Amino acid sequence: MQQKLLFPIVLIALVLFSWLGNTFGTKWVVMSIIGFGLGFTLSFSRFGIVFGWREMLTQKNSYYVRIHLLTIAIEILLFTICLSFSHSLFGDKMTGNIMAISIPFIAGAFLFGIGMQLAGCCASGTLYCCGEGRPRFWIVLLFYGIGTLIGNSFKHELSSIFPGHIVTVKDLTGNLWTGMLVNLLFVGLLYIFFCHIERKKTGQLTSIFTSGSLFWKNSHFTVLSGGIIIAILNSSIVAIHGSAWTITGAIYESALHISSFFGFFDGNPKLAKPLFLNPMVGMFAAGLLGAAFSACLLRERNRTPITIQNTLAGIIGGLLMGCGGAYAACNLGGFFDGTASGSVHGWLWMLMALCGSLIGIRLRKLFRI
C-alpha cells in the first residue's frame, strides 16, 4: 500500500471509533483502539505462529517458537493479575478464556493445525494479511467464515454427545498464584526443550537476546518487540472486558449476519442482536485497519502470486480452520489466551495443533506451496 492511503485509513478508523462510541459505549471504543494497535503490531512485526511452527518442525529452528513462549509468559503474569479481581474495569465478570476439553475440542484443534499450514496463516495472520490488502488471504477469510458456519451447525449435537470438562491449573494446585507459577514453570521447561532440539539438530542456537537489534530492525518492530506489545495489549483487553481478544467468534458472527441476507440461518438467536454488540467484531474491523496502516508504512512486502494451487490450499485451509475453530477456537482463544488464563485446554490445543501441522506441512507439497 502507498503512503497516500494513510489519511483515508485513519479517517475510516476515526469514523468507526466514533460510531461505536455513540452506538454502544466507551468500552467498545477503547477495545477497538486496542484492536487497531494489535492489527498494526501483528503486521509491523510479522508476528505469527504458522511460519514459526513450520520452521521448528522442518528445520528445528526454535527462534519463533521461543518468542511465542516468552509472549505467553508475559501474558500469564498479566492475565493472573487481572484474574485476581472479580470484575473488569467496565464491570464485566472476570472470567479469562476457559474452554472445556472434549473430543470435539481435540479434533477441532487438530483440524485447525492442518488448516493453518495449508492456508499459510492462522486467525491473527489472516487478519493482518487481509488488512495489508493481499487478495489470497481474503479468500482464506471467506472460507474461514464458511467453515465456522458449517462447524457451528453441528455444535449443539456434538456437545451433547461428547460433553467436555474444564481443567485449570488453579484447580490442580488449589490457588491462582501457585497455578501461575506452575504455568510459568511449564513454559520454562518447553523453552529449554526447544533450545535442546535446535542445538542437537543444528549445533547452535539462534539467539533472541544477544542480537544487536532486539526491538527494532529494518525500520519495523522485531518479532520479539511485537510479542511483548501484543502481550501487553491483549492483557489490557482482559482488564477491560474480563476475557482476552479472540478472532474466530468475530468471524463467525460476521459470516452469520452476512449469510442471513441470503436467507440462511434465519432462526439463529445471534441474529436478533446487533453484530457489533460483540466488541470482538469491532476489534476485528479495527485490526484490519491497523494492519492496513502498517502496510502503508512498510516499504518491503512479500507478495506471493495467486495460483490455482495456493488458492485451493487456501480454500481447504480456511474451511478446516473455520470448522476446527468452531470447537477449539483459534491460535489466540485456543492457545495464547487459554494458557495465559490458566486453562489446561491451551496446552492441549498446542499439542493437537502441532500434530495437525505435521500433516498440513506434508499436504503443502501436494499443492506445491
Summarised one tens digit per residue, pLDDT across range 130-156 is 999 999 999 999 999 999 999 999 999
Q: What percentage of the chain reaches a pLDDT higher than 70?
A: 98
Q: What is the reported pLDDT for 369? A: 86
Phi, psi torsion values for 228, nearest 5 degrees: -65, -45
CA separation for the pair 208, 205 (Å, rounded): 9
Show the cell assigned to 254.
460476521
CA angle 297, 298, 300 (to 5 degrees): 150
Q: What is the reported pLDDT for 35? A: 98
145-154 b/e (C-beta count within 10 Å ≥ 16 → b): bbbbbebbee
In the structure, what pLDDT confidence band is assigned to residue 215 with cuts at 50, 70 and 90?
Answer: confident
In the structure, what pLDDT confidence band is assigned to residue 21 with cuts at 50, 70 and 90?
Answer: very high
Which run of H or E residues covers position 98? none
Mean pLDDT is lowest, of 28-37, 46-55, 204-213, for 204-213
Q: What is the dihedral of CA 148, 151, 156, 158, to 10 degrees?
A: -150
CA separation for the pair 152, 167 (Å, rounded): 23
Q: What is the reported pLDDT for 302? A: 60
Show the cell assigned to 50.
504458522
Closest CA to 123 of 287, 242, 275: 287
Query: What number of other Cβ atoms are within 10 A of residue 18's Cβ?
Result: 11
Residue type, 330: C
Instruction: Please state, rounded to an integer, the average pLDDT across all residues of the chain.
Output: 95
Q: What is the reported pLDDT for 212? A: 66
CA separation for the pair 25, 274 (Å, rounded): 14
Answer yes or no: is pLDDT of 301 > 70: no
Q: What is the reported pLDDT for 211? A: 59
Q: What is the reported pLDDT for 48? A: 85
